Amino acid sequence: MIIETPPWLEDELPRLGVTTKPYHLMVGNPSAWHHCEGVVCHKRSTPQPPRSLVAINDDIRTSSPELLLYDLASYTDFDLIDLILVGYELCGTYVLDQSWDGMTNTDAPMTSAAKINRCLCRLVGMPGVARARAALSLVHDGSNSPMETILCMLFTLPRKLGGYGLGPVSLNHKMATATGPRWVDVAFTAAALGLEYKGAQAHSIERTKRDDRRQNKLVGSGMTIINVWYEDLVTPHLFEQLVADIFHAMGKRLRIRSASFSVRRALLMQKLMPAITRFGSLV
């Protein structure tokens, strides 16, 4: 017999922001929940790493940001690119939500790649750890928006995943200028090259002027800036030109793409395209 989800869960979880079913719960006695509708129970057989659970209230604990990447990597629902995207969000200053533009910026990141790695080190041998580490190795701290994450991934992911393998990279890189510090969205520090995401084509005149003045100060500090518009990412010939410009600015030779790389890049773009479409005209 299947019984209904306990009423307190139906009341409490939506109030806490859990809006989809099934509910995935880590419980002490899974057998007591086996036949609950809309509930999937999990029991961890090994001790929890220190500080890996966060108290929501007196009755409910949730995975810490450091443990979350491992939890998601333990299931096949999330592929490597999914896990990398989650990692950037956890280590960045934005949270995807149901607001009008799909995100909220935060004053500080929830965690960092180093903190997640320390948590994973305490879970050696557990299912999902290898996948979580593989994803984490490709995550960079400090992204301020989903589009900055996507831009960084397109150019820093290894070629085997469809990226261009460029680096080292620093997100929201702080630069000293004559009028005070400025931040570059995606900075390839060794090449003194910065990528500035400009959003949709239709900027207001005021914002365009402000962005141009900001860029002038960055250029005066020795950083070459390439502006990236939404159309540069979604229009094939413009994206090809963007790639060529970045490689030229970095003094790197752009290798002729093989057919297999073209397929991998197309798959990566297809994976990221929903996010590009969703956030491109707003961020």
- What's the rounded mean pLDDT across residues 2-7? 63
CB 127 within 8 A of CB 67: no
Q: What is the pLDDT at residue 59? A: 75
- The Cα 196–Cα 183 span in angstroms is 10
pLDDT in tens, 38-63: 788 877 766 778 888 888 887 788 88
91-105, pLDDT tens digit by residue?
999 998 877 778 889
Determine whether 16 is exposed, middle or buried from the number of CB atoms within 10 Å of its CB (0-12, 13-18, 19+): exposed
Nearest Cα neighbor of 141 from 73, 70, 204, 91 is: 91
Looking at residue 65, what is its pLDDT? 93
3-state SS record for the chain: CCECCCHHHHHHHHHCCCCCCCEEEECCCHHHHCCECCEEEECCCCCCCCCCEEECCCCCEEECHHHHHHHHHCCCCCCHHHHHHHHHHHCCCEEECCCCCCEEECCCCCCCHHHHHHHHHCCCCCCCHHHHHHHHCCCCCCCCCHHHHHHHHHHHCCHHHCCCCCCCCEEEEEEEECCEEEEEEEEEHHHCEEEEEEECCCCCHHHHHHHHHHHHHHHCCCCEEEEEEHHHHHCHHHHHHHHHHHHHHCCCCCCCCCHHHHHHHHHHHHHHHHHHHHHCCCC
Could you give the CA distance from residue 103 to residue 44 in angstroms, rounded to a whole number? 32
**For the chain, percent of residues with pLDDT exceeding 70:** 83
pLDDT tens digits for range 260-277: 999 999 999 989 987 666
Tokens of 214: 């900001």
Lowest mean pLDDT among 24-38, 120-134, 171-185: 24-38
Q: Are the beta carbons of 40 and 54 closer than 8 angstroms?
A: no
Check residue 117 and give its pLDDT.
96
pLDDT band at 203 (very low <50, low <70, confident <90, very high): very low
Average pLDDT over residues 106-125: 93
Q: What is the pLDDT of residue 15?
A: 81
Q: C-alpha angle 206/102/193, rounded to 5°?
A: 55
Range name among 29-43, 201-215, 234-248 with the lowest pLDDT average: 201-215
Q: Does the model's pTM come out above 0.95? A: no
Asked whether residue 168 carries a pLDDT value surpassing 70, the answer given is: yes
- Spatial distance between the Cα atoms of 282 and 226, rounded to a whole number of angstroms: 20
What's residue 217's pLDDT?
A: 55
Average pLDDT for the chain? 84
For residues 279 and 79, what is the distance between their CA atoms, to the nearest angstrom?
21
Higher pLDDT pick, 139 / 201: 139
Please indicate whether residue 274 or residue 211 has the higher confidence score (pLDDT). Answer: 274
Query: Which carries the bigger pLDDT value, residue 33 or residue 174?
Result: 174
CA distance linking residue 53 with residue 65, whole number of Å: 9
Selection from 186-190, 225-229, 233-237 with the highest mean pLDDT: 186-190
Is the preceding omega at residue 168 within 30 degrees of 0, hence cis?
A: yes
- 178 pLDDT band, cuts 50/70/90, is confident
Higher per-residue confidence, 9 vs 207: 9
**pLDDT value for 1:** 41
Q: Would you put residue 269 in left (φ > 0), alpha (ψ -120 to 50) or beta?
A: alpha
Are 154 and 264 in contact, with CB atoms under 8 Å apart? no
